[in-house]
Amino acid sequence: MLFDTGASGILISQSAVDKAGLSHLGSFEARGVGDKGARSAFIAIADTCAIGSLKYKTCVFSALEGKGRVAGDEDGLIGADFFSGYLIHIDFQKRLLHLVPQPDRPPNPQGYDRVIGPDETGFTPVFRLGHGLYILTKVNNKNWGLFLLDTGAGVSNLDSAFARLSTKIWGNNYINIKGISGSVKDVFEADKAELQFARFKQDNLGLIAFNLNNTPEHQDFRMSGVLGIPVLSMFRLTIDYRNGLVNFDYAFK
């Protein structure tokens, strides 16, 4: 399964559910990249599951109906928020995921303020909408937007409407973009774009652009782009879901 900061919980295929002999419970709609809209999905529950050395009881999965895979070649996705009770360290070069339990804190019905501890003074604040972590990013030193941190994205891309504010884009019929909701019809290629986020600037040639805001949750909140694995893999990432903080440690310095 794909470890995906852009996904939530554990999402698997119907074939994986049936192979494990799990029951189909309830129904809901799942949406993602693609123009075919929502896909039918359901819940499945296993008595136990194991992820690496971690073992869980009463594991809840989301599953997509049908014979196809979840997306691409993967049998499923594990959202990084599944481990939100831990401080998450991701080292792409060593291919390691290290989890450090967060300390307990007393219940507070009013919620908690973001806390930047002495070990997190260099961390960058991010915004969280549901499972998504969004970081302020500036394109070509012109416009700021909220970009999703997405280790499950094979490329970094721009929302086509936002891209037009900072660079030129043109249609490209030879690029195939496909996600949970099928293929994307209108795909564009953008001119050179410099992305500025946290303490870093990154030049990207030929960024892909398409409509990233075709789902109901993005009618009031608009996503400007996605920082995918080509950008994120240049860093050792530390994610603190509790306090909404991410550290980008450049891996090649």
Spatial CB neighbours of 16, under 8 Å, sequence gap ≥ 6 = 63, 75, 76
Give the CA angle between residues 113, 129, 52 to the nearest 5°.
90
Q: What is the mean pLDDT of residues 214-236?
A: 85
Specify the 3-state DSSP secondary structure of 72.
coil
Tokens of 117: 């501890």
Confidence tier at 138 by pLDDT (50, 70, 90)? very high
**How far apart are the C-alpha atoms of 17 and 209, rounded to whole Å?**
34
Q: What is the mean pLDDT of residues 150-156?
A: 88
Full set of structural domains in the chain with CATH? 2-83 (2.40.70.10), 87-102+123-250 (2.40.70.10)
Q: Confirm if 146 and 224 have CB atoms less than 8 A apart.
A: yes
What H or E segment, with its residue span, contains residue 230? helix 229-232
Q: What is the mean pLDDT of residues 16-26?
A: 86
**What's the whole-number average pLDDT of the chain?**
85
Query: pLDDT tens for residues 94-106?
Result: 999 999 999 888 8
- The gap from C-alpha 153 to its chain's centroid, in whole angstroms, comes to 7
Confidence tier at 89 by pLDDT (50, 70, 90)? very high
Query: pLDDT tens for residues 189-205?
Result: 888 789 999 999 988 76
Residue 79 has pLDDT above 90, yes or no: yes
Q: What is the pTM of this model?
A: 0.85
The DSSP-derived string for 112-127 is ------GGGTT-EE-E
